[in-house]
Amino acid sequence: MAKSYKIKRYRHIYRKRRFSPIKAGLLLLLLAVLAFVGFSLYEPVHDFWSGKLLQRMESSSSAPEEQPEPSSQQAESLPQASEPEMAPLSGIHALYIPEEVLLSGEILPYLQNHSLPDINTVLVDLKNSAGQVLYQSHVEFVAEAGSQHAQAIDLPEVVAALQAAGYQTAGRICAFRDPIAPYAHETAAVKYENTEWTWLDNSQEAGGRPWLNPYSPVAQDYIGDLANEAVGMGIPLILIDNLQFPEGLGLDRATFGEWAASQSKADVLQDFAEKLQARLLPQGAAAIPCVSGIHLLGQNLSLPYDATNPAAIFTTSALSVQMMPALFGEVFEAEGFRLQAPATTPYETTQAVAGRALATLSEGTQLLPWIQGYTAQNLSGDFNRTYTEEEVSEQIRALREAGVDSYILVY
């Protein structure tokens, strides 16, 4: 008989096992850690097997390390990029070189015969009042107008020679008094009574000449392009002469196009001077308007400056004023200002004119005066005086006593 077995029954075999909350929390934490590690390792492992990791390591080794952006306080302490500085406008002791000397190549001998000990600058003409460009220019409008002088100088060569001799070079451009360029473009010239005819400042039989229209963008660009080119050739100071409206006969029949309806004559001259200075400033150069002392003292203003004193128009960094004593003739009177035989008293005349000029200039505008070294040919008798180094020294002394340490000497 088979042996019988007893089945032992356990009381808790079918009871659900209770899970401790602490164990559950630990398990969840473990699962979260494993998930984070797996997610973090996925990309580098994947990149390793695909070859991307090696490429990334090579590129990062060659790329410059990025620097954090400085805070506002750190940025203030960092050195800022310096803006271009304009050529210094004080202490200019210049000698003007006549056109015939410039074109003959005899500048250095002329300097030896006429220079004072403190001369440090040489002023040459770049474009004369006859409309001729006196240096070899690459401005397209020069070729179009045919205004290149037959004996035009190599300007960089002249600048280099003067620099080697210890001088800086300044240049003068006659702006709108130009009888050549007005014929090169139909919009460049002053017109006759709003027609296509070019206005002349006198009858053709009497040698009347056309003028460039100061309103014309073509005329303005022409002057600006010449100035910009000269600066690129080593000229840091550009004097702009004849920056004015026409003088002559028949001015009531001179017309300036539709531009004149929206801007006054004084405003267009001022805007052009300021734009030209802004154009040259990035190269560290200065554009200095040049005017006659006769106009600055208040005489004959209605024609060239629309009845406005040029000192009120040209408020840029400096204004060059021709104030040679002989310029004022035998007797000069304007707005209560009187000079009697001014050429005979160079010190007194320079003192009076400089004082009036300084009182007229806008605040911050420096005076760059022209002084006289020649004996006037249009004056005689009691109204003239032979000029020597003594008369030149008297003018310089008067300027320095007025606080002006710059001049342009012309013989």
Mean pLDDT of the 210-227 span: 98
State whether residue 126 is helix, strand or coil. strand
pLDDT score recorded for residue 265: 97
Find, among 183, 173, 176, 184, the residue nearest to 133 by Cα: 173
- What residues have CB less than 8 Å from 53, skipping those under 6 apart? 44, 47
- Which pLDDT tens digit goes with each residue over 284-326? 999 999 999 999 998 877 789 999 999 999 998 999 999 999 9
- Listed range (29-33, 43-47, 62-66, 309-313) with the worst mean pLDDT: 62-66
Other residues' Cβ atoms within 10 Å of the Cβ of residue 408 = 23
Residue 8 has pLDDT above 60, yes or no: no
pLDDT of the residue at 149: 98
Residues 383-405 have pLDDT tens digits of 999 999 999 999 999 999 999 99
Compute the mean pLDDT over every residue in the chain, rounded to the nearest whole number: 86
Taking the model in full, what pTM does it have?
A: 0.80
